[in-house]
């Protein structure tokens, strides 16, 4: 094989290796920050609430849905009118933060797990464990971490 041919062959191997890694063959199971995944940042209050202000007003949490408070690492949901529950926003699969609550549930941007808004149980994998519960209470129509 001539040097020119060998050089051409090595360049071709490098291109194939770059294409393989670019296709994500080694990224499964590696947690990435939501910003690296292209996921939209979770909505957060315009200013950090004081302890008395709590996380949000009860009216900010939709019935059957919820809201992610990324700065506090908490998701608050209202599965039924007047019932508020909260979970740690850390996904039990590989530690990413869940980033949104949709009609399907609480979703993780890293590998697509979806969790139930009521008990935090995994509805879609790869997560096999529920989101950890966080105690909250309602004070003067505000959601407060207990």
Q: Which residues bind ligand FES (CB under 6 A)?
A: 31, 91, 93-96, 108, 110-113, 126-127
Neighbour order of strands in the sheet with 114-115:
100-101, 106-107, 114-115, 122-124
Contact partners, residue 21, CB within 8 Å, separation at least 6: none
Backbone angles phi, psi at 79, to 5 degrees: -65, -30
113 or 144, CB closer to ligand FES?
A: 113
Closest approach, Cβ 72 to ligand FES, in A, equals: 18
Closest approach, Cβ 90 to ligand FES, in A, equals: 9
45 or 73, CB closer to ligand FES?
A: 73
Closest approach, Cβ 89 to ligand FES, in A, equals: 10
CA-to-CA dists, residue 1 to 5, 6, 95, 105, 107, angstroms = 6, 6, 50, 59, 54
Supply 88's token pair. 């740690």
31 or 45, CB closer to ligand FES?
A: 31
95 or 119, CB closer to ligand FES?
A: 95
Closest approach, Cβ 100 to ligand FES, in A, equals: 12
């Amino acid at each position: 094989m001539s040097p020119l041919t060998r050089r051409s062959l090595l360049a071709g191997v490098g291109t194939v290796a770059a294409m393989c890694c670019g296709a994500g063959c080694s990224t499964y199971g590696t947690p990435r920050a939501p910003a690296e995944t292209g996921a939209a940042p979770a909505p957060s209050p315009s200013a950090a609430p004081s302890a008395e202000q709590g996380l949000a007003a009860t009216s900010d949490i939709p019935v059957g849905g919820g809201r992610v408070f990324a700065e506090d690492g908490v998701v608050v949901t209202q599965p039924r009118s007047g019932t508020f529950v909260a979970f740690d926003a850390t996904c039990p699969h590989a530690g990413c933060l869940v980033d949104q609550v949709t009609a399907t549930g609480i979703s993780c941007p890293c590998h697509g797990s979806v969790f139930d808004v009521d008990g935090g149980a995994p509805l879609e994998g790869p997560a096999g464990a529920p989101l950890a519960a966080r105690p909250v209470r309602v004070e003067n129509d505000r959601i407060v971490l207990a």
